[in-house]
Amino acid sequence: MQLLEQRLRRLTEAGGDAMPSGGLIGLEREALRVTPAGRISQRPHPFALGSALTHPHITTDYSEALIELITPPCHQPEQSLAFLADTHAFVYRQLDDEVLWANSMPCIIDDPENIPIAHYGPSNAGQMKRIYRIGLGHRYGRMMQVISGIHLNYSLPLAFWEPFRALEGDRRELRAFIDHHYFAMIRNLQRHGWLIPYLFGASPAICNTFLATHDSHHLQSLPGGTRYEPYATSLRMGDIGYTNRKEACAGIKANYDDLNGYLASLRYAIHTPCEVWQQIGLRDRDGGYRQLNANILQIENEYYSTIRPKQLQHHLEKPTDALANRGVLYVELRSLDIDPFTPLGIDTTRMRFLESFLLYCLLSDSPPIDPQERKFIDRNLEETAHQGRAPDFQLAHPHGPRPLQQWLHEILNDLEGVCQLLDSRSDQPRYRTALDQVRAHSAPEATPSARILDQLRQRGIGFYDFSREQSERHRDHFLHHPIDPQRETLLQQLGHTSHQQQQQLEQADTTPFAEFLAAYLAP
């Protein structure tokens, strides 16, 4: 922690633009549309919400029923949450009798083949997005693809980087300096990534129907068709959740030493054939595509990770090309469960805490991750997901096993200095208050996962009934939520213009899809 303390002191003494406050923060919230009967919706994406292909704030993920709501980058968590709340309210006014599922793990699904894959229209871009999802279904199963989460996007203010580089005495070109430190942040987010499912995991139980294609020998039963683990925090992040679980025969581990290593590892995966996926084949008997290609990854987005370096993409630009051309713009934290106790699935306290945690990961020492530590990181994340609240639970560490509670409290204590830095430009200790609130709920019995299991046991209800109650409660909340008139007008206009943009893309396409795809996938 010596380096962290030194950097905090230098930044505090420098003041001015060297203060990291004023960064940008945004949210992406996924949620299943669910029928009154508690099943995944079979209806198309509501037309009034706009085109899922071109709308900047309302789209779909894997399934036609898996809606995704995206806020713009904002300077304050309250601004992101206000935009997300208005977007939820706007969406609910178009859903008729459907609800948005209030849990990361899905509702009752009688047959995975009934999960509708998202449609994006006949344009080349739209066809590619759909075929990619068809490929995911063949590779990993459709059930895995309807797990939901919340992604938090974060970037430090541009004005921060130049003075920080001067304080570091670093002579690298500014873009290289920024990329270097974002990857340092990412490595530490992986080292300490177990902290997020422990503190905020909210999926300790699941519906029996989710286990149709999974080995569930380690799960126990509760009434109401529920399976659970007594000390689980986030089954979504465990071995039954959404991960590239076939790495031993058909996967990769991305290189996070630096941007060039990261790009090289992903580009290798998207251009290297894989025997396992070749067995799926590229086309059906009727000529329809089964996947985009038979390589280790169809495209970069298939690689699952808890944190991603990101850059805004131009139309049809590959994520790796965007990063190579313009460097890292922000990071995307992907390990957050939806909190069923909160209508938006996340709140201001959590966002402020995570912002301070991200900055802690940036300012702390972050050496490269060697193969042994990589095993520790993967083990810690999975075991915390399954048994992180167990008494005397220990984490793997290069210097020997460490009790989770001891390591957690060390990090929370170190965050005090980071919060003080973030609060230094304000007359209110917002970040310190968020830290104190998270610390107050950091005991195993006070975490969201423990609270959910307590509700199930005390009320004698199952995961489905609990999640449905919360979903309906949140629906009523948003149906009574007054939308900001300007934002409602904006969402209406974006819905209309997004349909026009989709039509323009379709009319402009003159290249046959097979030629388009070959050109896109070419090295």
The band of 16, judged by pLDDT with boundaries at 50, 70 and 90, is confident
Q: How far is residue 436 CA from its own chain's centroid?
A: 25
**Mean pLDDT value across residues 240-246:** 61
- Contact between 256 and 190 under an 8 Å Cβ cutoff? The reply is yes
β-strands 66-70, 220-222 pairing: unpaired
- Contact between 521 and 292 under an 8 Å Cβ cutoff? The reply is yes
pLDDT value at residue 18: 87
Separation of alpha carbons 4 and 188, rounded Å: 12
In this structure, what is the dihedral angle of CA atoms 8, 9, 14, 16, given to the nearest 10 degrees? 40
Residues spanned by the domain of 505: 2-521
pLDDT value at residue 425: 84
Indicate if the pLDDT at residue 318 is higher than 90: yes
> Which letter does DSSP use for residue 483 in this model?
P
Helix (H) or strand (E) holding 433: helix 430-440
pLDDT value at residue 247: 47
Separation of alpha carbons 109 and 250, rounded Å: 28
Gyration radius of the chain's alpha carbons:
23
Query: pLDDT, tens digit, for every residue of 322-350?
Result: 999 999 999 999 999 999 999 999 999 99
The band of 77, judged by pLDDT with boundaries at 50, 70 and 90, is very high
How far does the chain reach from its first CA to its final CA, in angstroms? 42
Separation of alpha carbons 514 and 257, rounded Å: 36
Of the candidate ranges 21-25, 167-171, 226-230, the one whose mean pLDDT is the lowest: 21-25
> Which letter does DSSP use for residue 201 in this model?
-
Give the DSSP per-residue string, 234-302. Answer: BGGGSTTSSS-TTHHHH------SSHHHHHHHHHHHHTSB-HHHHTT-SB-TTS-BS-S-SBS-SSGGG
In this structure, what is the dihedral angle of CA atoms 259, 356, 361, 184, given to the nearest 10 degrees? 20
Return the percentage of the chain with pLDDT > 70, whole number: 97
pLDDT value at residue 21: 84
Helix (H) or strand (E) holding 307: strand 307-310
pLDDT value at residue 420: 96
Indicate if the pLDDT at residue 246 is higher than 70: no
CATH of the domain at 344: 3.30.590.20
Which residue in 197, 210, 182, 89 sits closest to 149, CA to CA?
197
Task: Give the three-state DSSP class for 489.
Answer: helix
Indicate if the pLDDT at residue 20 is higher than 80: yes
Return the percentage of the chain with pLDDT > 90, whole number: 90
Indicate if the pLDDT at residue 128 is higher than 60: yes
CB atoms within 10 A of CB 439: 17
Indicate if the pLDDT at residue 245 is higher than 80: no
Indicate if the pLDDT at residue 453 is higher than 80: yes
Mean pLDDT, rounded, of the chain: 95
pLDDT value at residue 523: 86
β-strands 226-228, 220-222 pairing: antiparallel
> Which letter does DSSP use for residue 19 in this model?
S
Burial 89-103 (b: 16+ CB within 10 A, else e): bbbbeebeebbbbbb
What is the number of domains present in the chain? 1
pLDDT value at residue 240: 83
The band of 217, judged by pLDDT with boundaries at 50, 70 and 90, is low
Give the DSSP per-residue string, 47-113. Answer: GGG--TTT-SSEEE-SBTTEEEEEPPPBSSHHHHHHHHHHHHHHHHTT-TT-EE--SSS--B-S-GG
**Mean pLDDT value across residues 483-512:** 97
Give backbone dihedrals phi and psi of 219, rounded to 5 degrees, phi first: -100, 145
Query: pLDDT, tens digit, for every residue of 352-408?
Result: 999 999 999 999 999 999 999 999 999 999 999 999 999 999 999 999 999 999 999
